[in-house]
């Protein structure tokens, strides 16, 4: 298959491995944009999801916001924001954050709603205050589901960050956009492979976080 | 197994169809796959040869190319020729390959940019010499018809603020901008970075080395917006672009002819077009000058009219349809 030849040519060319246009720098840029968007999205969606889930109020409004944000086309939003704000990181962050918010919001809300009420009652019976109940009982139990929301957001954002290259920023999308217009498919395929690799690395990263952060009792005692 | 069977059936059907259509078409496909990439794998976007007697008129991915595609296509239709359109295909790097393998029959081209693409060293001094130089390097299956008087070139264009800051007027040259090059961010298409008629030539011919380069689109809305917002101070904007007048951009002079000639000229496949079709396109070129092209561009880009309607209306008024 020629695609594998493209991939091996791309990665074997030593010119692709250093400098401002090299693979390490582009991967770093890509991760920088992705984690920035993910951080902003988590900063917005986690507190909102946890509070609405904990109090059980505002679930409908939240579902509405999540559905609306999901319906926004990333590419269209990017071009619109570019016309409005010009070259820079902000027009790229807006569509990426809009992409990452819904999965985090919905899963953190659902995670809090579906916490087994028995241990929560028991904790209250033992005299724990609402803050202690939230952070010491509900949150640890809800953590696996919350992490799964963050994981889907991370995978989507890492895959979509390629669109930053349309408005002249860096990242791995640069390889795809430049390769297509210069008709150099080796670069296109190489860039796409790297993005797929990064998306898979996100799965591995969140598996690791799950192992380290989730309490063994919640994980199933293994 | 079932997937393999479907693929096999589809391939056989395609081969049969290709056999039924014009034999000159099918003979062209093996050669195009062999010369498409020295030692590289086959081009995945190569496409398949067009079937039957339909003339396929294509265009590159910018507004004027689409408009010219409509003009050519409608002029051919007026002569009773069957036409199908393939608008917005992509860059020259892609469309040239599609003409070579017969997927596209007619494409609006610009003589200077096409020549620079085929032969980096060529420096013709007249339109006739440009056509001759292109024919010498052009693939054997393709030919150029008559060039129009209308010219639309790549250009180095600065926005009003930059022009005021460095005292640049429409009489200034790219060399004047090169003196302050280290303070200038240039914008344009991703392919502009690698081309002789781009950053490569700007450096070797005018000594212009910009502070940085922002890869956007080919003279399209992103580039114009970035230039308007002063995110870039200079950009590759096409000289007939409707935004130049609207935004008070200044197109810099190109005395060393880096961007050379840029006459609109149809590139066609030799076997795909009848003598009637050739005559129809040459009649279009005879009537198309820069003023007409600017006016047609203005109708499409500023007045937001449909390019097909604009093309039909002009052909009718010029007595070509």
pLDDT in tens, B149-168: 888 888 899 999 999 999 99
E-state strands within chain A: none
Nearest CA in chain B to A163: B216
Give B286's pLDDT tier (boundaries 50, 70, 90): very high
Do the domain assignments include residue A221? Answer: no
Chain B hits for A5, CB-CB cut-off 8 Å, are 41
Domain count, chain A: 1
Instruction: Tell me the nearest-neighbour CA distance from B146 into chain A, angstroms.
Output: 28
Lowest mean pLDDT, pick from A107-111, A114-118, B241-245, B292-296:
B241-245
Lowest mean pLDDT, pick from B172-176, B219-223, B243-247, B262-266:
B243-247
Domain with A208, as residue range(s), is: 2-214
Nearest CA in chain B to A83: B225
Nearest CA in chain B to A189: B44
| Residues A132-148, mean pLDDT to the nearest whole number | 91
Q: Is the pLDDT of residue B263 over 80?
A: yes
Distance of CA B167 to the CA centre of its chain: 32
| DSSP SS3 for A222 | coil
User: Which of B97, B226, B230 has the highest number of chain A CBs within 10 A, making it the mutation to test binding with A?
Assistant: B226
Q: B194 and A177 in contact by Cβ < 8 A?
A: no
Nearest CA in chain A to B229: A86
Instruction: State pLDDT tens for residues B93-113.
Output: 899 999 998 899 999 999 988
Torsion angles phi and psi, residue A185, rounded to 5? -70, -20
Do the domain assignments include residue A147? Answer: yes
Average pLDDT for chain B: 83
Instruction: Give the dihedral of Cα atoms A193, A196, A201, A203; nearest 10 deg.
Output: -160
Q: Provide the pairing of β-strand B55-58 with B83-86.
A: parallel
| DSSP SS3 for B91 | coil
Per-residue b or e along B11-28, where b marks 16 or more CB atoms closer than 10 Å to that residue's CB: eeeeeeebeeebeebbeb
| Residues B107-130, mean pLDDT to the nearest whole number | 87
Helices vs strands, H then E, count in chain B:
14, 10
Contact present, A119 and A137 (Cβ < 8 Å): yes
Do the domain assignments include residue A101? Answer: yes
A167 → closest Cβ in B97, B194, B216: B216
**Beta-bridge partners for B84:** B56
Nearest CA in chain A to B97: A183
- Window 122-181 of A: residues touching B by CB (8 A cutoff) are 165-168, 174, 177-178, 180-181
Interchain CB contacts (distance < 8 Å): A and B: 59
Tokens read off for B143 = 């030919």
Integer angstrom CA distances of residue B177 from A146, A208, B225, B231, B245: 55, 54, 21, 17, 20
Contact present, B111 and B259 (Cβ < 8 Å): no
B214 → closest Cβ in A2, A83, A168: A168
Q: A168 and B221 in contact by Cβ < 8 A?
A: no
| pLDDT for B21 | 42
Angle (CA) B214 B174 B114, round 5°: 70
Residue A89: count other Cβ atoms within 10 Å of its Cβ.
Answer: 15
Do the domain assignments include residue A220? Answer: no
Question: In this structure, what CATH number is given to the domain that contains residue A187?
Answer: 1.10.3720.10
Instruction: Tell me the nearest-neighbour CA distance from B88 into chain A, angstroms.
Output: 13
Torsion angles phi and psi, residue B207, rounded to 5? 70, 25
Do the domain assignments include residue A181? Answer: yes
Residue B111: count other Cβ atoms within 10 Å of its Cβ.
Answer: 25
Q: Pick the residue with more confidence: B278 or B196? A: B278
> What is the predicted ipTM?
0.73
Do the domain assignments include residue A135? Answer: yes
Residues in Cβ contact with B24 at an 8 Å cutoff, skipping those fewer than 6 apart: B271
Chain A hits for B40, CB-CB cut-off 8 Å, are 186
Contact present, B213 and B199 (Cβ < 8 Å): yes
Q: Provide the pairing of β-strand B264-269 with B142-144.
A: antiparallel
Integer angstrom CA distances of residue B238 from A3, B70, B143: 36, 19, 25
B190 → closest Cβ in A6, A82, A177: A177
Q: B222 and A167 in contact by Cβ < 8 A?
A: yes
Question: Percent of chain B scored above 70 by pLDDT?
Answer: 84
Do the domain assignments include residue A103? Answer: yes
A182 → closest Cβ in B191, B222, B232: B191
The alpha carbon dihedral of A165, A171, A176, A179 has a sign of positive
Do the domain assignments include residue A37? Answer: yes
Tokens read off for B253 = 């002079």
Give the C-alpha separation, A47 to A38, whole Å: 14
Domains annotated on chain B, with CATH: 45-152+261-317 (3.40.190.10), 156-251 (3.40.190.120)
């Amino acid at each position: 298959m020629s695609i594998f030849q493209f991939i091996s040519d791309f990665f074997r060319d030593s010119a692709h491995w250093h400098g401002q246009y090299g693979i390490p720098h582009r991967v770093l840029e890509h991760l920088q944009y992705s984690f920035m968007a993910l951080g902003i999205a988590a900063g917005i969606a986690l507190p909102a999801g946890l509070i609405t889930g904990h109090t059980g109020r505002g679930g409908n409004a939240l579902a509405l916001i999540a559905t609306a944000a999901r319906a926004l086309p990333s590419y269209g939003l990017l071009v619109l924001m570019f016309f409005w704000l010009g070259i820079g990181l902000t027009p790229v962050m807006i569509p990426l954050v809009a992409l990452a918010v819904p999965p985090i919001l919905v899963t953190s809300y659902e995670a809090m709603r579906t916490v087994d009420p028995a241990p929560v009652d028991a904790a209250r019976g033992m005299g724990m205050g609402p803050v202690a109940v939230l952070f010491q009982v509900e949150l640890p139990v809800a953590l696996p589901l919350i992490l799964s929301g963050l994981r889907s957001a991370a995978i989507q954002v890492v895959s979509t960050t390629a669109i930053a290259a349309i408005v002249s920023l860096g990242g791995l999308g640069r390889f795809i956009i430049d390769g297509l217009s210069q008709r150099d498919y080796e670069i296109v395929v190489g860039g796409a492979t790297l993005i797929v690799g990064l998306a898979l690395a996100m799965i591995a990263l969140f598996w690791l976080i799950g192992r380290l952060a989730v309490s063994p009792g919640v994980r199933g005692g293994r | 197994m079932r997937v393999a069977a479907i693929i096999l059936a589809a391939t056989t059907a395609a081969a049969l169809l290709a056999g039924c259509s014009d034999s000159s078409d099918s003979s062209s496909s093996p050669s195009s796959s062999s010369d498409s990439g020295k030692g590289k794998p086959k081009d995945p976007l190569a496409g398949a040869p067009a079937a039957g007697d339909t003339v396929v008129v294509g265009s590159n991915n910018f507004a004027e190319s689409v408009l010219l595609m409509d003009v050519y296509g409608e002029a051919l239709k007026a002569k009773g020729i069957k036409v199908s359109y393939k608008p917005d295909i992509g860059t020259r790097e892609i469309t040239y390959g599609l003409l070579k393998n017969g997927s596209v029959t007619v494409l609006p081209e610009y003589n200077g940019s096409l020549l620079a693409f085929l032969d980096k060293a060529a420096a013709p001094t007249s339109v006739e010499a440009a056509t001759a130089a292109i024919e010498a390097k052009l693939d054997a299956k393709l030919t150029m018809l008559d060039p129009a008087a209308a010219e639309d070139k790549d250009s180095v264009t600065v926005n009003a603020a930059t022009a005021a800051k460095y005292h640049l007027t429409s009489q200034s040259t790219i060399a004047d901008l090169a003196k302050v090059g280290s303070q200038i961010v240039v914008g344009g298409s991703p392919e502009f970075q690698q081309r002789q008629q781009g950053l490569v030539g700007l450096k070797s011919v005018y000594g212009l080395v910009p502070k940085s380069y922002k890869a956007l689109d080919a003279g399209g809305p992103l580039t114009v917006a970035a230039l308007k917002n002063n995110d870039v101070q200079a950009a590759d904007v096409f000289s007939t672009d409707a935004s130049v007048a609207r935004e008070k951009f200044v197109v810099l002079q190109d005395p060393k002819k880096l961007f050379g000639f840029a006459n609109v000229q149809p590139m066609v496949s030799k076997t795909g077009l009848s003598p009637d079709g050739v005559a129809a396109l040459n009649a279009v070129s005879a009537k198309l000058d820069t003023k007409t092209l600017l006016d047609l561009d203005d109708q499409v880009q500023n007045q937001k009219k449909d390019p097909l309607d604009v093309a039909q209306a002009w052909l009718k008024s010029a007595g070509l349809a």
